[in-house]
């Protein structure tokens, strides 16, 4: 009883046929438009409005869950007389959410967004999306609240682990591929949270301030690219304000940019509990989600009254319902309705493990201590609950396998938010996987509570594998980048006792590493998902050659960030709901960095990070060469990657724009992941999106005529050869 209430209130508080192979994942034909118009024309206003608000489908207060509706994040009734299906919604990007066990089932937990972002692989994103959507379908859902692609503007953001990185091209291509994979299963995907929602502090009222040209070139560009690639059926607007107006009632953002400029044809759903008034409909919002969480069902009776008496609302209500119908038809939700079935746990685990193995980033490897030699006789494993499982992030995105977490540590006294605000570990113990790979060795474990105890054991070991964890959750940011509860001290003590110390990090995002120079190796495993323990061991022992590259900059310290002091830290009480005191406001000025998010900020300030964007080591070596760039209407970059070492492995070719006629810059304009056998070379051509050469101006995208310099990079900081190319100027916008 308490467990469902917990989750329900937690959220309350917070809260076709084969689809075209164009990368869109959606039926791009006009058939969906025609069918939507025909069905909508047959509807009464009451039926239309019935589709425009939904409940949080959990037994919350006096909520009545309609018969047959699966417990999940949302339910919107259909119109049976017109064969319009009900919408059954579940979270999220990392798998079908567990809801603290409320539904009594488990699902495949994919690795975190950061881990997926580290693969730099749209193909893996697509496979992961298809997998979790097939599980959603088998659990009765036809909408997956996935596609989290907010750019990481601050590594302390509580939901960094859900997102893919700090670069708009990278997040846009990867996020769009995930959406396409989801929709290939006839399950509608969202893309979220639109827009400018990088931190959680005061999330219901903080006001992100950013001048429009910078917004268009950064956070919005990620959405724009992802929408083009994935054609998501729905866009979820964010909790926060953008330039003074609530994101879900933001005329400029929803009507002006999304629908008019970008020509978006799907529907905008609100985040849960973010609708303040019926006139949000006029600003471009199409559907109120989880309506019990708002002060009123603004998109219920008041909207019906307005539609019956006011032409503006009548027109909007028709458009709002047509948009939802269009996505239902375009994604094929009506043709292949969800069917309850058992999920294939082993197949899901294989996909999760594959992504984890390709997303783990090797950050340091002194004297090639990794991969581990079979000769080590005494291995000590320390900390991180490595004897039980691997960490996951918390909040609405939390997925867990059957039977729930291996370990669940409450972060608060028994109460309303306990289950979803717990630190949960998936049932995949690194210690077991290490033991399985080192049968000749004595592998012992210390929990890492006391630095002295761990150090004593370390002295007598041949080598030490110490785990460092940083738990992140929706709803709360972290105050700094330390590993909490004294773990930095444990690592330092162990490293002092034994120089053969290997640190394995399971962190939500970037962390500081005060012990960096004292340890032999550092492996960033993020939250590695359902088979994370096996993936970590596979990398440590060399069954898998690490190929992940950082999708975010690791700062040397928070002093290097655009806002060293977290805005609101002193005035806003940390709370999952983030409503604050009545009338409370918090302006966050993103004009400090503008469009120069992450590595671009570091390049602009000439700051040296701890580890740069794009960085990652391998057990083999690569040569990157032969960069050329063609200009013209369809610019492209060509380069050659060669595996110059003795082991098979994957490299990620990265091309950065480093100078334009407007001055020095740093912008990822092309990337490609290549699996290469020893000695193998591959020449790859990647198109360059002209928006990445342009600035957004009052007249639209504008490329200044002149010379552009591009560099092939091993990371955003390690630039290899460069080429200069003349590019003709042009300006274009969205006028039809
Ligand atoms: C989150 C969304 C989520 C929704 C439904 C909100 O609190 O911000 O990402 O999809 O809840 O659970």
Please give the average per-residue pLDDT across 154-170, as a whole number: 98
Sign of the alpha-carbon dihedral angle for 414, 417, 419, 422? negative
Q: How far is the CA of 476 from the centre of ligand 1 (A)?
A: 14
Contact 580, 567 (CB under 8 A): no
Give me the residue label for tokens 């978006």: 264
The half-sphere exposure of 457 on its side-chain side, counting CA atoms within 13 A, is 23
- Asked whether residue 4 carries a pLDDT value surpassing 70, the answer given is no
Q: How far is the CA of 289 from the centre of ligand 1 (A)?
A: 10
For the CA of 14, the closest atom of ligand 1 is 7
Sign of the alpha-carbon dihedral angle for 523, 526, 532, 533? positive
Closest residue (by CA) to atom 7 of ligand 1?
15
- Distances from the Cα of 545 to the Cα of 114, 525, 548, 552, angstroms: 19, 13, 10, 21
Residue from 145, 274, 393 whose mutation best tests the ligand 1 pocket (most atoms within 8 A of CB): 145
Closest residue (by CA) to atom 4 of ligand 1?
272
For the CA of 238, the closest atom of ligand 1 is 8
Sign of the alpha-carbon dihedral angle for 497, 498, 499, 501? negative
Q: Collapse the DSSP code of 43 into the 3-class scheme (helix H, G, I; strand E, B; otherwise coil) and give the result.
A: coil
- Asked whether residue 601 carries a pLDDT value surpassing 70, the answer given is yes
Give Cβ neighbours of residue 330 (< 8 Å, ≥ 6 apart). 26, 27, 28, 32, 231, 233, 266
14 strand-pairing partners: none
Please give the average per-residue pLDDT across 230-247, as a whole number: 98
What is the average pLDDT value for the chain, to the nearest integer? 94
Please give the average per-residue pLDDT across 11-31, as a whole number: 42
Please give the average per-residue pLDDT across 26-41, as a whole number: 86
Q: How far is the CA of 357 from the centre of ligand 1 (A)?
A: 28
Q: List, as one string, the DSSP characters of 248-305.
A: GG-HIIIIIIIIIIS---SEEEPPTT----GGGGTTT--BB-SGGGSSS-TTSHHHHH
Q: How far is the CA of 242 from the centre of ligand 1 (A)?
A: 18
Tens of pLDDT, residue by residue over 78-115, are 999 999 999 999 999 999 999 988 899 999 999 999 99
Backbone φ, ψ for residue 586 (5° rounding) = -150, 110
Number of H helices, E strands in the chain: 17, 29
- Asked whether residue 685 carries a pLDDT value surpassing 70, the answer given is yes
Give Cβ neighbours of residue 160 (< 8 Å, ≥ 6 apart). 113, 114, 152, 472, 508, 509, 552
End-to-end CA distance of the chain: 55
For the CA of 74, the closest atom of ligand 1 is 5
For the CA of 239, the closest atom of ligand 1 is 8
| CATH of the domain spanning 31-83+112-331 | 3.20.20.300
pLDDT of residue 344: 97
Architecture of domain 622-732: Sandwich (2.60)
Q: Which helix (H) or strand (E) holds 475?
A: none
pLDDT of residue 60: 83
Q: How far is the CA of 74 from the centre of ligand 1 (A)?
A: 10
For the CA of 92, the closest atom of ligand 1 is 10
Q: Which residues line ligand 1 (CB under 6 A)?
A: 11, 14-15, 73, 91-92, 145, 192, 271-272, 396
Determine if the peptide bond prior to 92 is cis (ω within 30°). yes
- In which residue ranges of the chain is CATH 3.40.50.1700 found? 360-389+428-540
Q: How far is the CA of 204 from the centre of ligand 1 (A)?
A: 12
Q: Which helix (H) or strand (E) holds 429?
A: none
pLDDT of residue 661: 97
For the CA of 145, the closest atom of ligand 1 is 10
Closest residue (by CA) to atom 5 of ligand 1?
73
- Asked whether residue 305 carries a pLDDT value surpassing 70, the answer given is yes
Q: Both tokens of residue 480?
A: 């700094």
Q: How far is the CA of 255 from the centre of ligand 1 (A)?
A: 22
Residue from 99, 160, 271 whose mutation best tests the ligand 1 pocket (most atoms within 8 A of CB): 271
Backbone φ, ψ for residue 159 (5° rounding) = -105, 15
pLDDT of residue 338: 97
The span from the CA of 305 to the CA of 313, in Å, is 9
Q: How far is the CA of 58 from the centre of ligand 1 (A)?
A: 14
- Asked whether residue 21 carries a pLDDT value surpassing 60, the answer given is no
Q: Collapse the DSSP code of 447 into the 3-class scheme (helix H, G, I; strand E, B; otherwise coil) and give the result.
A: coil
Closest residue (by CA) to atom 2 of ligand 1?
271
- Asked whether residue 18 carries a pLDDT value surpassing 70, the answer given is no
- Asked whether residue 228 carries a pLDDT value surpassing 60, the answer given is yes
Contact 686, 637 (CB under 8 A): yes
pLDDT of residue 376: 87
Q: How far is the CA of 662 from the centre of ligand 1 (A)?
A: 40
- Crossing angle for the helix pair 345-359 and 532-540, to the nearest 10 degrees: 40
3-state helix, strand, coil in the chain (%, to 5): 30, 25, 45
pLDDT of residue 416: 63
For the CA of 97, the closest atom of ligand 1 is 12
Determine the topology of domain 360-389+428-540 in CATH. Rossmann fold (3.40.50)
Going by pLDDT thresholds of 50, 70 and 90, the confidence category of residue 418 is confident
Tens of pLDDT, residue by residue over 186-225, are 999 999 999 999 999 999 999 999 999 999 999 999 999 9
- Asked whether residue 26 carries a pLDDT value surpassing 60, the answer given is no
Going by pLDDT thresholds of 50, 70 and 90, the confidence category of residue 420 is confident
Tens of pLDDT, residue by residue over 518-564, are 999 999 999 999 999 999 999 999 999 999 999 999 999 999 999 99
For the CA of 15, the closest atom of ligand 1 is 7
Please give the average per-residue pLDDT across 354-374, as a whole number: 96
Residue from 6, 60, 91 whose mutation best tests the ligand 1 pocket (most atoms within 8 A of CB): 91
Please give the distance of CA 346 from its chain centroid, rounded to a whole number. 24
Tens of pLDDT, residue by residue over 41-84, are 999 999 999 999 999 999 888 899 999 899 999 999 999 999 99
Please give the average per-residue pLDDT across 401-419, as a whole number: 86
Using alpha carbons only, how large is the chain's radius of gyration in Å?
Answer: 25
Q: How far is the CA of 15 from the centre of ligand 1 (A)?
A: 6
Q: Both tokens of residue 719?
A: 């630039």
Please give the distance of CA 438 from its chain centroid, rounded to a whole number. 34
pLDDT of residue 27: 56
Residue from 15, 73, 92, 288 whose mutation best tests the ligand 1 pocket (most atoms within 8 A of CB): 15
Q: How far is the CA of 306 from the centre of ligand 1 (A)?
A: 28
- In which residue ranges of the chain is CATH 2.60.40.10 found? 622-732
pLDDT of residue 415: 66
Q: How far is the CA of 396 from the centre of ligand 1 (A)?
A: 6
- Distances from the Cα of 644 to the Cα of 367, 422, 641, angstroms: 18, 46, 9
Q: How far is the CA of 570 from the centre of ligand 1 (A)?
A: 26
Residue from 148, 272, 292 whose mutation best tests the ligand 1 pocket (most atoms within 8 A of CB): 272
Please give the distance of CA 514 from its chain centroid, rounded to a whole number. 27
Q: What percent of the chain has pLDDT over 70?
A: 96
Q: Collapse the DSSP code of 566 into the 3-class scheme (helix H, G, I; strand E, B; otherwise coil) and give the result.
A: coil
Residue from 72, 92, 191 whose mutation best tests the ligand 1 pocket (most atoms within 8 A of CB): 92
Q: Collapse the DSSP code of 240 into the 3-class scheme (helix H, G, I; strand E, B; otherwise coil) and give the result.
A: coil
- In which residue ranges of the chain is CATH 3.20.20.300 found? 31-83+112-331
- Asked whether residue 9 carries a pLDDT value surpassing 80, the answer given is no
Q: How far is the CA of 271 from the centre of ligand 1 (A)?
A: 6
pLDDT of residue 68: 86
Q: How far is the CA of 294 from the centre of ligand 1 (A)?
A: 14
- Asked whether residue 24 carries a pLDDT value surpassing 80, the answer given is no
The span from the CA of 548 to the CA of 149, in Å, is 19
Q: How far is the CA of 237 from the centre of ligand 1 (A)?
A: 10
The half-sphere exposure of 653 on its side-chain side, counting CA atoms within 13 A, is 28
For β-strands 463-470 and 501-507, DSSP reports them as parallel
Residue from 6, 11, 235 whose mutation best tests the ligand 1 pocket (most atoms within 8 A of CB): 11
For the CA of 89, the closest atom of ligand 1 is 5
- Asked whether residue 414 carries a pLDDT value surpassing 80, the answer given is no
The runs of H, that is alpha helices, within 546-659 are 599-605
pLDDT of residue 25: 45
Q: How far is the CA of 179 from the centre of ligand 1 (A)?
A: 17
Tens of pLDDT, residue by residue over 240-295, are 999 999 999 999 999 999 999 999 999 999 999 999 999 999 999 999 999 999 99
Tens of pLDDT, residue by residue over 438-492, are 999 999 999 999 999 999 999 999 999 999 999 999 999 999 999 999 999 999 9
């Amino acid at each position: 009883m308490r467990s469902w209430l917990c989750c329900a209130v937690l959220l309350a508080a917070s809260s076709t046929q084969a689809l075209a192979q164009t990368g869109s994942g959606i039926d791009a034909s006009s058939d969906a438009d025609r069918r939507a118009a025909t069905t909508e024309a047959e509807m009464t206003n009451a039926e239309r409005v019935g589709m425009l608000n939904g409940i949080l489908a959990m037994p919350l207060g006096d909520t009545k869950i309609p018969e047959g509706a699966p417990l999940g994040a949302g339910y919107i009734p259909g119109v049976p007389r017109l064969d319009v299906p009900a919408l059954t919604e579940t979270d999220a990007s990392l798998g079908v959410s567990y809801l603290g066990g409320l539904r009594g089932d488990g699902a495949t937990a994919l690795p975190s967004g950061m881990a997926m972002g580290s693969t730099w692989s749209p193909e893996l994103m697509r496979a992961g999306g298809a997998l979790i959507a097939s599980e959603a379908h088998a659990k009765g859902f036809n909408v997956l609240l996935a596609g989290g692609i907010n750019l990481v503007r601050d590594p302390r953001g509580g939901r960094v682990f859900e997102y893919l990185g700090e670069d708009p091209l990278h997040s846009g291509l990867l996020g769009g591929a995930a959406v396409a994979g989801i929709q290939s299963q006839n399950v509608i995907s969202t893309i979220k949270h639109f827009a400018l929602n990088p931190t959680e502090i005061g999330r219901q009222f903080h006001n992100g301030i950013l001048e429009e040209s910078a917004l268009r070139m950064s956070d919005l560009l990620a959405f724009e690219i992802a929408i083009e690639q994935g054609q998501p059926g729905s866009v979820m607007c964010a909790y926060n304000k953008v330039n003074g107006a609530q994101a879900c009632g933001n005329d400029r953002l929803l009507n002006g940019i999304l629908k008019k400029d970008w020509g978006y044809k799907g529907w905008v759903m609100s985040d849960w509990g973010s609708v303040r008034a019926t006139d949000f409909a006029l600003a471009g919002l199409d559907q109120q989600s989880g309506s019990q969480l708002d002060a009123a069902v603004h998109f219920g009776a008041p909207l019906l009254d307005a539609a019956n008496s006011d032409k503006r609302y009548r027109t909007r209500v028709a458009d709002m319902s047509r948009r939802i119908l269009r996505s239902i038809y375009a994604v094929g939700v009506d043709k292949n309705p969800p069917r309850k079935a058992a999920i294939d746990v082993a197949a899901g685990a294989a996909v999760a493990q594959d992504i984890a193995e390709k997303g783990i980033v090797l950050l340091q490897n002194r004297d090639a201590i990794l991969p581990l030699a079979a000769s080590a006789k005494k291995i000590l494993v320390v900390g991180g609950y490595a004897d039980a499982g691997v960490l996951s992030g918390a909040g609405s995105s939390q997925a867990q396998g059957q039977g729930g977490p291996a370990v669940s540590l409450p972060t608060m006294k028994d109460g309303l938010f306990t289950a979803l605000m717990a630190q949960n570990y998936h049932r995949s113990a690194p210690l077991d996987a290490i033991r399985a790979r080192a049968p000749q060795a004595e592998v012992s474990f210390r929990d890492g509570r006391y630095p002295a105890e761990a150090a004593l054991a370390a002295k007598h070991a041949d080598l030490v594998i110490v785990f460092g964890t940083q738990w992140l959750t929706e709803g709360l940011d972290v105050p700094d980048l330390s590993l909490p509860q004294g773990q930095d001290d444990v690592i330092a003590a162990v490293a002092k006792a034994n120089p053969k110390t290997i640190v394995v990090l399971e962190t939500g995002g970037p962390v500081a590493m005060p012990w960096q120079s004292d340890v032999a190796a550092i492996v960033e495993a993020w939250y590695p998902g359902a088979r994370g323990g096996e993936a970590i061991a596979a990398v440590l022992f060399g069954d898998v050659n690490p190929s992940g590259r950082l999708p975010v900059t690791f700062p040397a310290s928070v002093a290097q960030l655009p806002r060293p002091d977290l805005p609101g830290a002193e005035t806003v009480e940390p709370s999952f709901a983030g409503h604050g005191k009545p009338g409370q406001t918090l302006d966050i000025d993103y004009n400090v960095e503008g469009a120069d998010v992450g590595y671009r900020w570091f390049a602009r300030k000439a700051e040296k990070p701890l580890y740069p964007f794009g960085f990652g080591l391998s057990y083999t070596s690569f040569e990157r060469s032969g960069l050329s760039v063609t200009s013209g209407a369809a610019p492209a970059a060509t380069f050659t990657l060669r595996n110059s070492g003795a082991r098979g492995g994957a490299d990620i070719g990265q091309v950065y724009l480093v100078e334009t006629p407007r001055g020095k810059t740093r912008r990822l304009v092309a990337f490609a992941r290549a699996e290469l056998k020893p000695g193998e070379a591959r020449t790859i051509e990647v198109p360059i999106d002209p928006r990445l050469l342009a600035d957004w101006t009052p007249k639209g995208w504008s490329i200044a005529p002149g010379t552009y310099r591009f560099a092939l990079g091993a990371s955003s900081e390690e630039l290899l050869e460069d080429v200069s190319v003349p590019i003709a100027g042009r300006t274009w916008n969205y006028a039809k």
